Amino acid sequence: MGFQYSIVIGVLLLAHHILEISSRIELTNLKCIPRDEKFILFEYCRIKSVNRTYKYFSVHAKLLQGPVSNITVNVATYKRYNGYKPSLYNFTFDACKFLASKNKNILYNYFYGFVSQHSNMNHTCPFDHDLIVDKVTIGFLNHQATAVLPIPKGDYAVFTRWYAYGKLRADVRVYATLS
């Protein structure tokens, strides 16, 4: 364990203290918006509450023009103050390059980590099948949002924009509250 690592841990502990880092996440909404219906359609896009403690979200998209080997994703995070305002992150990356990379960018990998174990998209390009994110549970989101990288309390939205060959094909938006 190196010096730099200790500093990172120290900063996180301090941030945890000062910012009252959240310990609970609630998914409030999920929206999947096709921007090119000749290219992609959503069969479902939903949050399901089985009971008080067991909730999850799932997405099933039909890819109508595979195989696809050029995908760009923009991820922008918002926090609600008086309406949702851009906050923290806004980045765009080449998904095919990212998936093929052995040394994955830490930030992209953090966001990818929310779905990588629960999706059939976790392979290298091309994609020529339906895209499925299956049952990402609240318990897993809690772990990812609070244990892996603590985030302060508040209402958040994560807007993702999906491009193929430089053209916008779909928007997927996740809304969550950390309390």
Ligand X SMILES: *[C@@H]1O[C@H](CO)[C@@H](O)[C@H](O)[C@H]1NC(C)=O
Show the binding pattern over residues 53-92: x = contacts ligand X (CB under 6 A), - = does not. Answer: xx---------------x-----x---------x---x--
If one asks whether residue 119 binds ligand X (CB under 6 A), the answer comes out as yes
Burial class (CB in 10 A: 0-12, 13-18, 19+), 70: middle
CA–CA separation, 82 and 79 (whole Å) = 9
Residue nearest to ligand X (CB): 166
Q: Which listed residue (117, 128, 129, 179) binds ligand X by CB under 6 A?
A: 117
Q: d(Cα 143, Cα 118) in Å, to the nearest integer? A: 15
Per CB under 6 A, 50 contacts ligand X: yes
CB of 20 or CB of 123, closer to ligand X: 123
Nearest distance from C-beta of residue 119 to ligand X, angstroms: 6
Beta-sheet pairing, 25-34 with 84-94: unpaired
For β-strands 167-178 and 154-164, DSSP reports them as: antiparallel
CB of 82 to ligand X, least distance (A): 16
Q: Is 7 in the site for ligand X (CB under 6 A)?
A: no
CA distances from 41 to 132, 147, 170, 174 (A): 12, 34, 9, 18
- Give the pairing of strands 55-63 and 154-164: unpaired
Q: What minimum distance in Å lies between the beta carbon of 5 and ligand X?
A: 24
149/163 Cα distance (integer angstroms): 27
Closest CB 126 distance from ligand X, rounded Å: 12
* Nearer residue to ligand X within complex by CB, 17 or 52: 52
Could you list the residues that contact ligand X (CB under 6 A)? 50-54, 70, 76, 86, 90, 94, 116-120, 122, 165-166
